[in-house]
């Protein structure tokens, strides 16, 4: 059996044997316990020194799904933030129809875990984004925008980059090894929601520009390393990425219409437009991503 790549880590057959041996030697351990022990054993921390046990737990699940290891049975259905049904939160839905200037000074703030605004932000994404929202594995940031009167007008989530995207990887000039080592320096705008009762021309591109000007510094402050390239994927059957294009993002092509877990090529999903934006000068970005110009 050859090496495999999961969650950005390359695993040799001996690594899989070690995982299975640990499971057999500790039959009372939960999946949560296993993921923490394995992450600590591998020294799997982010740049801010936080244990990446959630990423490890996702890696173990994927190995189990592929039949490469056998995890202990779940002791209960997940009851964490990943699966719980959120209670509705009352919020105003009065139409906001005006010019961008008439909104007054806009606030754009990070919504950290346990922030007073976190339940509202998650509820709005779950209720009004066409993809819904449950959780984000790995490194991520969430933003909420309000107008001068304190009315919420937008919510966004930025997360880890997609593992493989041919148009992006070709455009950057990545080979396989470089992609795996530099992927943490790419950030993915996974959710962007202008609330449906807000009708303000140019608002979406304006807020997008504000977020991209600060996301690298915010990422560095939270996770200990910067990001140099932003990416997003727009369902072409629903949207054309107009606000991204207006904010100078580059359209690179389309995804293949497959998911990262579709190992047998049997799952078909809508093809999406791949858009990217360098967060530093393009030449410096390619150097930072391991591809000197």
| Same domain, residue pair 59 and 192 | no
Q: What CATH number corresponds to the domain at position 140?
A: 3.40.630.30
Say yes or no to pLDDT of 262 above 50. Answer: no
Say yes or no to pLDDT of 259 above 70. Answer: no
Last residue of a domain, one of 25, 46, 65: 65
| Same domain, residue pair 56 and 113 | no
Specify if 88 maps to a domain. no
Say yes or no to pLDDT of 189 above 80. Answer: yes
| Same domain, residue pair 16 and 136 | no
Q: What pLDDT does 188 receive? A: 98
Name the nearest CA neighbour of 184 among 148, 224, 156.
Answer: 224
| Same domain, residue pair 10 and 148 | no
Do the beta carbons of residue 115 and residue 73 sit within 8 Å? Answer: no
| Same domain, residue pair 141 and 272 | yes
What tens digit of pLDDT does each residue of 87-104 get?
789 999 999 999 999 999
| Same domain, residue pair 231 and 104 | yes
| Same domain, residue pair 128 and 244 | yes
Cα 286–Cα 223–Cα 180 angle in degrees, nearest 5: 45
Residue-averaged pLDDT of the chain = 89
Tell me the C-alpha distance between 17 and 30, whole Å: 18
Do the beta carbons of residue 155 and residue 144 sit within 8 Å? Answer: yes
The tokens of 288 are what?
A: 């930072």
| Same domain, residue pair 42 and 104 | no
Last residue of a domain, one of 14, 42, 65: 65
| Same domain, residue pair 190 and 248 | yes
Specify if 113 maps to a domain. yes
Tell me the C-alpha distance between 187 and 219, whole Å: 9
% of the chain surpassing 90 pLDDT: 67
Q: Which residues are CB-neighbours of 11 under 8 A, at least 6 positions away?
A: 3, 4, 5, 63
Say yes or no to pLDDT of 70 above 80. Answer: yes
What tens digit of pLDDT does each residue of 194-239 get?
999 999 999 999 999 999 999 999 999 999 999 999 999 999 888 8
Give the count of domains, the chain. 2
Identify the top-confidence range among 8-17, 34-43, 260-269. 34-43
Q: What pLDDT does 83 receive? A: 44
Q: What pLDDT does 99 receive? A: 98
Say yes or no to pLDDT of 185 above 90. Answer: yes
| Same domain, residue pair 53 and 107 | no
| Same domain, residue pair 174 and 233 | yes
Name the nearest CA neighbour of 273 among 289, 253, 292.
Answer: 253
Specify if 57 maps to a domain. yes
Say yes or no to pLDDT of 76 above 70. Answer: no
Specify if 104 maps to a domain. yes
Specify if 79 maps to a domain. no
Tell me the C-alpha distance between 189 and 135, whole Å: 14
Burial of 190 (0-12, 13-18, 19+ CB in 10 A): buried
Name the nearest CA neighbour of 10 among 51, 65, 49, 63.
Answer: 63
Domain boundaries, position 24? 4-65
Say yes or no to pLDDT of 81 above 80. Answer: no
């Amino acid at each position: 059996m050859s090496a495999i790549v999961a969650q950005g880590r390359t695993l040799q057959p001996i690594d899989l044997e070690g995982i299975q041996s640990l499971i057999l030697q500790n039959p009372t351990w939960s999946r949560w316990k296993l993921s923490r022990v394995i992450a600590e054993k591998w020294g799997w921390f982010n740049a801010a020194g936080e244990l990446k046990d959630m990423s490890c737990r996702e890696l173990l699940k994927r190995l189990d799904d592929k039949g490469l290891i056998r995890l202990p049975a779940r002791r209960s259905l997940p009851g964490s933030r990943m699966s719980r049904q959120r209670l509705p939160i009352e919020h105003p839905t009065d139409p906001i129809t005006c010019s961008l200037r008439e909104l007054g000074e806009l606030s754009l703030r990070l919504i950290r875990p346990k922030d007073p605004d976190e339940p509202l932000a998650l509820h709005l994404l779950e209720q009004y984004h066409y993809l819904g929202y449950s959780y984000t594995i790995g490194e991520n940031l969430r933003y909420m925008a309000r107008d001068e009167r304190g009315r919420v007008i937008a919510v966004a989530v930025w997360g880890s980059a997609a593992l493989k995207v041919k148009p992006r990887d070709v455009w950057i000039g990545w080979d396989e090894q470089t992609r795996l080592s530099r992927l943490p320096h790419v950030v993915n705008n996974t959710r962007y929601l202008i609330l449906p009762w807000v009708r303000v021309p140019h608002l979406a591109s304006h807020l997008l520009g504000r977020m991209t000007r600060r996301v690298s510094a915010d990422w560095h402050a939270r996770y200990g390393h910067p990001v140099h390239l932003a990416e997003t994927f727009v369902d072409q059957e629903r949207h054309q990425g107009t606000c991204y294009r207006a904010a100078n993002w580059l359209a690179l092509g389309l995804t293949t219409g497959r998911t990262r877990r579709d190992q047998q090529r049997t799952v078909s999903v809508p093809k999406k437009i791949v858009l990217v934006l360098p967060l530093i000068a393009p030449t410096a970005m390619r150097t930072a991503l391991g591809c000197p110009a």
